[in-house]
Structure formats: C-alpha cells, structure tokens
Amino acid sequence: MSDPHLPSEAEIVERVQESPTIFTLRLRFTDPAEHAAYRFAPGQFNMLYLYGVGEVPISIVSDPGDEHLFDHTIRVVGRVTKGLAQLKTGDRLGIRGPYGRGWPLKEAEGRDVLIVTGGLGCAPTVSVINYVMRRRERFGQLVIIQGVKHANDLIWREQYERWSAVKDTQVLIAADVGVQLWPWHVGRITELFSMAQVESSRAVAMMCGPEGMMEVAVDHLCGRGVAENAIWLSMERSMHCAVGLCGHCQVGGKFVCKDGPVFNYPEIKTLFRAEGF
Amino acid sequence: MPGNYLPRASFQALLETLQQTGYRCVGPQLRDDAIVYDTLRHVGDLPRGIRDLQAPGQYRVEKSDCPRFFAWANGPQALKPLLFAPQEFLWKTERAADGRLRFVAAVPDAVPTAVIGVRACDLAALRLQDAHFLKDPSRDAHYAARRERLFLVAVHCTRSAPTCFCASTGDGPRAEAGFDLSLSELDDGFLVEAGSDTGRGVMARLPLEAASAGQTQTADAEIAQAAKQQTRKLPSRNLQAALFANLDHPRWVDVAERCLSCANCTSVCPTCFCHSEADQPTLDGAGSVHARQWDSCFTQGHSYIHGVTIRADTRLRYRQWLTHKLGSWHEQYGRSGCVGCGRCITWCPVGIDITEEATAICGDTTHV
C-alpha cells in the first residue's frame, strides 16, 4: 500500500451473528489483485472504515493461510461498531492494514502454548488457536484458558468443544455466572490457572483481554517458573492513525499500533501496572 | 571575498529574491497584540521596534525605540502549524448510488514557502517533528511535501524572554544548523550566513557588503548575552529514568490542582504531535471527508477506549505529558522532546512552569 492512510474498498461476503452483540464480517477486497496480494500475521489488526462515520482498529481472526477471505469479529461497543453491525452481505466498507506486530508463532514452535483470554479478548487469540490447530504437529501442549462474565457470553462454543477433543489440547473455561448444563467452571478465570498442563520451562504464553486479568495471569505464570520473556500480551489503546503518528496509543515510549499490539512482557513490564498509561 | 553584510535598507531585497525564486514568504508580524507568522509581502510588515514581555501565564508586546525587526524572543507559534497543519484533509470517500466506495487521497497542499525569522529552538523542534513525521514506513505525505519545499531564514536570538531556557537544553540561542540562511541582526543591518546550497544561491543575489570584524564581534557578543540572560533551566541530563521512578511523587497531585487541563501548552509546544482523525460527511450524502486535527493528551477523549478513559483526571494527563516530553521522547527519538522555547510557560493560563515541575519531581542533582 503506497499511502499508509488510505483505505481500500472491501465487500462483506458473509455476516455471522455470533451473539446478540457480537458479529463476524467475512471480507474480500473488491480489487482482485489487491486481495491476492494481501498478507497478514495472526495478532495484527486492520482499520475498518464505516462510510461517513469513521474508523476502528479490529484484529483479524481468520487464518493467514486462507486466501479466500479475511474475518473480523466485532462487539458492538461504540459509534462505529454500532454502525458496522447494521451492514449486510454485499455492503462495502473501507479497510487499511494490516498493522502492528502479531504473535510470536515461529518462536512458539516446538513449545507448549498457553492461551489466556477474557471477554472478547478471545478474538485476537482465536487466530492463534486456529493457527496452531491447523499445524498441530509443530507445537507441544495447547492449553486454552478463557474467561467470560456470563456463560451466555461465550461465542464459538462448539469450536471450544471440538478443540477440547483434540489430542494434547486442554480447554479450560470459566464463567462468573453459569447457566444450566454449563459444562465448564463457574467462578473466576484465575481459579483455572493452576490446572493448566504445561511444562513451565517450555511454555509460551499468549494473552489478551482485560489488563487486570492479564496481571493476575502474569503473576501466576512467573510464580510457576515461566520466563518473563516467554509471556506475550496483546494490548489495546485508543488508535486513530494506526501508523505511529497520532500519539493516542502510547504506553510510555511504545506505540501500541506499531510496536505492538502484541508485546513481550519485559518490554512493557515497568508500566504494565501503572495507572494512567 | 564577497561580503556578508546586508544593510537594513536592503532587507526588502531578501524578500524579493525569495519571491522571485518562487517562494511565498512567511514572517513575523504584529497581530492582535501578539507576534505571529503569516504571509509577508513587505519589510514594513515586520514587527520593527516591538518587544515582547513574557512571564509565566503572561504575554504582552510594547513599542520600543529599537530599530530592529527581531528584537523579541518568540510568539505563540513556531514552525509547527506551517508543516503539521492544525487541520487538514487526508482522504475523501465517494459513495456511488449502488453503495460502492472510492477512496481518494488528498493532494498535499504545499506551496514553496520561505520562513523568515526562524529561531534556534524552532529549528531544533523542526528536527524532532521531522523525526516523527518523516520516518518510514509511515512517512506523512502532507508534512513531507511542505518540508521539501521549505526555505528557512534563521535569526539568532539577541534577546531572551524570562521564560526561555534553550541554553540549558542545548538548542539555542544561536541557530547552529538546519537553516538555508541565518541572520545576525545589528542595529543597521544583518550578517548573513548560508547553511545550504539553496541558501548560497539566494545569498549570491543579495546586495551584500563587507562586514567588519567589529560587527561580527558585536553579533557574537549579543548572542552570548542572550544565553546569559536566561534564568530558567531544565536539568541537563536525560530525565527518563527519574521521571518514571517518580510516578507517585506528590508533586503530580500538586500540579494537577493548578493545571486547568486546557491544552494550551500542547498547542503552543513546537514538538507536540498528537492529532485526532474524524470523518466529516458532506451535506449531500455523496461523500465524506476524513480529516485530522491537532489533539492533546490533556483532553478527556485522548485516552478514551470503548467505555474506559485511561487518563480520567488531570494528574494523569499532566504526568503523561511531562513523562512523554522529557522522558519517553529519549526512547522514541533519541533526545528530550523539549527545546527550551518556554512557550508552555508563557501561554499557560495559570503559569505552570515546566522547568520548576521537572526539577521538583526529578531533583536538580546529576543523579537519578
């Protein structure tokens, strides 16, 4: 892309309502050459532009090997996402990206992978889970720890059930509030950490979600001997430009949009728990 | 050897030479009781015999008997608005009747511009803005187009305001580099020096005379005097570690009680680069323009993200500004983001002094 600011037109090929407030858009650039040339890594994000309203940064959930479409899973939280939710199959929107640094998937090969996510934090990590699942033989244990507020908030439930049946894969899910026939834990996500079957010395942890949850997860992992530099976190901050110019996403000297959004824990450790950064 | 002295009576020749070369001239002039930069057509528009009185939270101009054009320290603007426009369009979207979207990048608005009267601190700030806006792969086309067409005529400062502290940041009062021409102003004229090939080309067309050794000595002495006048200073060491080691310092609470979170400091700061982007739909519904405008870390919206404001109160916003300006800039651009212009002190409605706050928080010792 020659101009880092300029979006390209994309078409909604499919729209999936995941929950009352969460939906997935499956997209294709309308210019076939641009679509064919488009590459991204799990953990990277695009800026989605809704005509006449504005842009939002949204992570890409689909697999980079899927040449047909790329997917964004979005929760309705603000002006732009509320509008995006109204779009239908065939509608057009603007896309620019991909931006930022994704997950350390090459470094994770041959090691146990621990995924920790809360809330809709699952969207950026689902791209990792899918990536590992499709290349299962390259990785050790895969442990997925997911927390939701209410059992009804869990999207992709069938997928989690399918994943839990895969060899060397452990799925641990906690809902603060359960429902009847909820097969997983009722309580805090933090209560699941000690059940994770990973070898601390060969584990790579990747997490995304509320920072309070990630803080507890980091403490637990460090406490059981996982090296700090084996912990990776996907951070969220306000972003307008996505290319390190507008200044909104800074955490200390880091620009989350271009230095992240995925950070190695030691890179952001000093300000991770500080209020106001 | 050709001379390098331009008599005051010949100053209009500089403007005309630049205009004939194709530049729009921009220079300081008095407007609404402040010295601002705008299109300069005639030497008579320069603020001759005007001096500024600056103090924390205070800016006044008054007439003086001095015949000079540049016998004042600085006004609210630096070069920033000329390159990083306060508001501009980045791209527009055209929507066809069938819903198809077409995105069109805005053509950078970049008239070749010669700025007359650039201060040393402004040149230092320009280097920092260059480092931010011209870095690949996110080089900003609008900034870059203007930067490439810029001709800079620096003027060494001979008079510091009480708010100036460029000597302590190493950025002035002499303009050392980064200009096309530099001027030392004397009572009767100017000593001219070229800093680039373009500058040498312009200089060759000026009606210059030979300068005397005495004139050069006087000019140097006046610049040295301007440095000596400065009473404020920032600790000269890298403050990044000290600031981040003192995030809980009680002074943050103290300054937050005075700070109005008005964002004047970030508007007048020549290095602050934050901006927001927003869409502005046209009234006929057929298009929408994507614009950016200056933003500030002192606003409520700056750190807002879906329901959470990371910096909800003034203490956190002032701390963000100062820890970035004097701290994280080192990590991002290899030096502090402060060039000692003192504008944030002058234009703060309650006179908060960055040098005083930084010293209170970091101490003025050479240790962290």
Q: Are A148 and A187 in contact (CB under 8 A)?
A: no
Nearest chain A Cα distance for residue B2, angstroms: 45
Nearest chain B Cα distance for residue A95, angstroms: 10
CA B84, B81, B35 angle in degrees (round to 5)? 165
Nearest chain A Cα distance for residue B219, angstroms: 40
Q: How many residues does chain A have?
A: 277
Identify the pLDDT of residue B109. Answer: 84
Question: Both tokens of residue B228?
Answer: 């000596």
DSSP state of A225: T
Q: Are A14 and A23 in contact (CB under 8 A)?
A: no
CA B299 to centroid of chain Cα atoms = 21
- Do A246 and B323 make contact, defined as CB atoms within 8 angstroms? no
Q: How far apart are CA A262 and CA A254, in angstroms?
A: 11
Identify the pLDDT of residue B338. Answer: 98
Q: What is the pLDDT of residues A18-76, one digit of tens each?
A: 988 999 999 999 999 999 999 999 999 999 999 999 999 999 999 888 878 999 999 99
Identify the pLDDT of residue B368. Answer: 41
Give me the domains of chain A, ranges plus CATH numbers: 8-99 (2.40.30.10), 105-272 (3.40.50.80)
In SS3 terms, chain B reads as: CCCCEEEHHHHHHHHHHHHHCCCEEEEEEEECCEEEEEECCCHHHCCCCEEEEEECCEEEEEECCCCCCCCCCCCCCCCHHHHCCCEEEEEEEEECCCCCEEEEECCCCCCCEEEEEECHHHHHHHHHHHHHHCCCCCCCHHHHHHHHCEEEEEECCCCCCCCCCHHHHCCCCCCCCCCCEEEEECCCEEEEEECCHHHHHHHCCCCCECCCHHHHHHHHHHHHHHHHHCCCCCCCCCCHHHHHHCCCCHHHHHHHHHCCCCCHHHHHCCCCCCEEEEEEECCCCCEEEEEEEECCCCCCHHHEECCEECCCCHHHHHHHHHHHHHHHHHHHHCCCCCCCCCHHHHCCCCCCCHHHHHHHHHCCCCCC
Q: How far apart are CA B350 and CA B320, in angstroms?
A: 19
Q: How far apart are CA A265 and CA B49, in angstroms?
A: 59
Identify the pLDDT of residue A127. Answer: 87
Identify the pLDDT of residue B367. Answer: 43
Q: How far apart are CA B297 and CA B328, in angstroms?
A: 14
Ordered mean pLDDT values, 10 residues apiece, chain B (368 residues): 86 97 97 96 95 97 95 95 96 95 93 98 98 94 96 97 97 97 97 97 96 95 97 93 96 98 98 97 92 97 92 97 98 97 98 97 65
Question: pLDDT tier at A1 (50, 70, 90 boundaries)?
Answer: very low
Q: Are B178 and B195 in contact (CB under 8 A)?
A: yes
- Do B91 and A247 make contact, defined as CB atoms within 8 angstroms? no
Non-local CB neighbours of A216 within 8 Å, separated by 6+ positions: A190, A193
Q: Are B61 and B50 in contact (CB under 8 A)?
A: yes
Amino acid identity of residue B156, one-letter, is H
- Do B140 and A51 make contact, defined as CB atoms within 8 angstroms? no
Q: How far apart are CA B251 and CA B255, in angstroms?
A: 6
Q: Are A21 and A76 in contact (CB under 8 A)?
A: yes
H/E stretch holding A55: strand A54-59
Identify the pLDDT of residue A65. Answer: 84
Question: Both tokens of residue B104?
Answer: 């069109």
Residues of B in contact with A238 (CB under 8 A): 302-305, 310
Q: How far apart are CA A35 and CA B68, in angstroms?
A: 62
Q: How far apart are CA B319 and CA B322, in angstroms?
A: 5
- Do B100 and A252 make contact, defined as CB atoms within 8 angstroms? no
Number of Cβ pairs < 8 A linking chain A and chain B:
122
Residues of A in contact with B83 (CB under 8 A): none
Residues of A in contact with B330 (CB under 8 A): 253
Q: How far apart are CA A60 and CA A69, in angstroms?
A: 11
In 3D space, the residue among A45, A60, A48 whose CA is nearest the CA of residue A98 turns out to be: A45
Nearest chain B Cα distance for residue A120, angstroms: 12
Question: B interface mutation test: which of A240, A254, A256, A259 has the most B CBs within 10 A?
Answer: A240
Q: How far apart are CA B119 and CA B131, in angstroms?
A: 19
Question: Both tokens of residue A139?
Answer: 């990785």
**Which among B100, B306, B320 has the least Cβ separation from residue A276?**
B320
Q: What is the pLDDT of residues A114-161, one digit of tens each?
A: 999 987 667 788 889 989 999 999 999 999 999 999 888 888 888 899
For strands A203-208 and B5-7, give the pairing.
unpaired
In 3D space, the residue among B339, B20, B5, B8 whose CA is nearest the CA of residue B202 turns out to be: B20
In 3D space, the residue among B289, B262, B263, B288 whose CA is nearest the CA of residue B274 turns out to be: B263
In 3D space, the residue among A256, A252, A274, A273 whose CA is nearest the CA of residue B327 turns out to be: A252
Q: How many residues does chain B have?
A: 368
In 3D space, the residue among B348, B29, B324, B326 whose CA is nearest the CA of residue B163 turns out to be: B348
Q: How far apart are CA A151 and CA A186, in angstroms?
A: 8
Coil, strand or helix: which one is A211?
helix
- State the ipTM, two decimals: 0.94
Q: Are A238 and B303 in contact (CB under 8 A)?
A: yes
Q: What is the pLDDT of residues A240-262, one digit of tens each?
A: 999 999 999 999 999 999 999 99
pLDDT at A230 > cutoff 70: yes
Identify the pLDDT of residue A120. Answer: 66
Q: How far apart are CA B294 and CA B86, in angstroms?
A: 5
Q: Are A118 and A148 in contact (CB under 8 A)?
A: yes
Question: A interface mutation test: which of B129, B279, B314 has the most A CBs within 10 A?
Answer: B279
CA A201 to centroid of chain Cα atoms = 24
In SS3 terms, B76-99 reads as: CCCCHHHHCCCEEEEEEEEECCCC
Non-local CB neighbours of A201 within 8 Å, separated by 6+ positions: A225
Q: How far apart are CA B111 and CA B257, in angstroms?
A: 44
Q: Are B239 and B368 in contact (CB under 8 A)?
A: no
CA A155 to centroid of chain Cα atoms = 14
Identify the pLDDT of residue B366. Answer: 46
CA A122, B308, A229 angle in degrees (round to 5)? 50
Q: Are A207 and A237 in contact (CB under 8 A)?
A: no
- Exposed, middle or buried: residue A110 (CB in 10 Å: 0-12, 13-18, 19+)? exposed
Start-to-end CA distance of chain A, whole Å, equals 31
Identify the pLDDT of residue A122. Answer: 73
